[in-house]
Amino acid sequence: MKLNSPGEENQTAENSFAPMIISGPCSAESEEQLINTALGLKELPRLDYFRAGIWKPRTRPGDFEGLGAQGLNLMQKVKELTGFRLMIEVAKPSHIEQALKHQIDAVWIGARTVVNPFSVQELAETMKGISIPVFIKNPVTPDLKLWLGAIERFHKVGITDLAAIHRGFHYFAKSPYRNAPMWEIPIELKRLLPEIPIITDISHISGKRSTLAVIAQKALDLDTDGLMIESHFDPDSAKTDAAQQIKPGDLKLLINNLKVRKHHNYSGFDITLEKLRTEIDKLDGELLQLLAKRMEIIDEIGRYKKQNNLSIFQLKRWQHVLDDRLSIGTNLGLNQAFLLQMLEIVHKASIGQQEKIFHPVEAGEPRTSTSSDGA
């Protein structure tokens, strides 16, 4: 199920690895937007596909849902002007028919479609006998079997130019990422299907421009075969996913700063360490959410104390917290010295929060405190 990259001819005689690059706006919005973005992307050292969403599946009706067939006409203009190969998302058989009519070079199956085997089977049967590449995104939920099943359905009808797109997974509402990468899942997919390329959609994992470079480098370090990155000539004005899109010039800089390493041999590749690190990442995210929630309650306590003329520091409460948390923590196997240090740091921050409520800090007049409180 090896997908031939249109950029493979650019690789050196030593068979050095050059990751596939797929970029373009989240959604096709206008001729000006598509043309300006495409012209900016011409400055990249490599672009394998120019992508844009034509039909946008929105969570709620009334949001921008794409240009439809009009967007396909505009994509053709991009191709005529730049020579770029084109890629779009398809979710219905009619989308495939229109894509072929408008000379689209490759299609991807979206995360919301992959969760439904009925839809995937219908699309696969529609594409029987069609030779364009098909890229299959992981489902929204962290379900490797669903992802594998979607790939297998297309392979069974004779589609051999297949690739997977890792775009992250939803696992709880608040996270450092828009979609948690859960790297162990695409790594396991690679182990099971070593011949299929995996492209990392860093935009949908990141959800914001500030973390794109970090996620891109992580993806390459874990042997991804390419990157999908949403770009827009004026991302702040984008009608969809503005926060995660990047200007073509900034994308060029991002790509130039990436370190591309040699491919791994996936036979016997040990994913245990990455599984454990992913669990740590998830737990750290949950810890940070709990700390943020604790500080919200500390604010409420501070306001109550101020309204009722109570002192910030209350020794009996602090002693109770200290004894109680040390007892619980040591029974869970945690080191007592570590627990004491952690509790003192958290309580010092709590005092600081309450002092800001009692004595709002004037600009340029920082306050410090050495007290601690059990809140």
Q: Where do the structural domains in the chain lie, given as residue ranges?
A: 8-269, 273-358
Judged on CB neighbours under 10 Å (0-12, 13-18, 19+), 143 is middle
pLDDT in tens, 256-281: 999 887 655 544 445 667 778 778 88
In DSSP terms, 200 is beta-bridged to: 166, 227
pLDDT tens readout for residues 199-253? 999 999 999 999 999 999 999 988 899 999 999 999 999 999 999 999 999 999 9
Q: How far apart are CA 189 and CA 148, in angstroms?
A: 7
SS3 label, residue 206: helix
Give the pLDDT confidence score for residue 297 in this predicted structure. Answer: 92
Output phi, psi for 96, to 5 deg.
-65, -45
Residue 165 makes CB contacts below 8 A (sequence gap 6+) with 108, 135, 136, 137, 138, 198, 199, 200, 201, 228
User: Is 363 strand, coil or helix?
Assistant: coil
Task: Tell me the backbone φ, ψ of residue 176, rounded to 5 degrees.
Answer: -65, -20
For residue 17, CA distances in Å to 56, 67, 260, 267 come to 33, 36, 8, 18
Average pLDDT in the chain: 86
User: What is the H or E stretch that residue 346 is in?
Assistant: helix 336-358
147-171 per-position pLDDT tens digit: 999 999 999 999 999 999 999 998 7
Residue 309, sorted as left (phi over 0), alpha (psi -120 to 50) or beta, turns out to be left
Name, in order, each residue with C-beta under 8 angstroms of 294's C-beta and a sequence gap of 6 or more: 346, 350
Task: Answer for the pair 227, 253: CB distance below 8 angstroms, yes or no.
Answer: no
Lowest mean pLDDT among 156-170, 192-206, 290-304, 310-324: 310-324
Helices 248-256 and 212-221: angle between axes, nearest 10 degrees: 40
Q: And the tokens for 209?
A: 């421009």
- Residue among 128, 133, 130 nearest 86 (CA): 133
Do 8-269 and 273-358 have matching folds? no
Which CATH code, of 3.40.50.1240, 3.40.630.10, 3.20.20.70, 3.30.300.30, is assigned to 8-269?
Answer: 3.20.20.70
For residue 193, count other CB atoms closer than 10 A to its CB. 19
Q: Residue 364's pLDDT band (boundaries 50, 70, 90)? A: very low
> What is 273-358's CATH topology?
Chorismate Mutase Domain, subunit A (1.20.59)
The alpha-helical segments, DSSP class H, found in 207-335 are: 212-221, 248-256, 272-307, 315-331
pLDDT band with cut points at 50, 70 and 90 for residue 176: confident
Q: Is the predicted pLDDT of residue 374 greater than 50, yes or no?
A: no
N residues, the chain: 375
State the amino acid at position 172 in one-letter form: F
The helix or strand, by DSSP H or E, that contains position 336, with its residue range, turns out to be helix 336-358
For residue 139, count CB atoms less than 10 angstroms from its CB and return exposed for 0-12, middle for 13-18, buried for 19 or more.
Answer: buried
> Residue 3 has which token pair?
């997908």
Whole-angstrom CA distances from 57 to 39, 61, 62, 68, 72 are: 27, 9, 11, 11, 16
Whole-number pLDDT of residue 361? 59
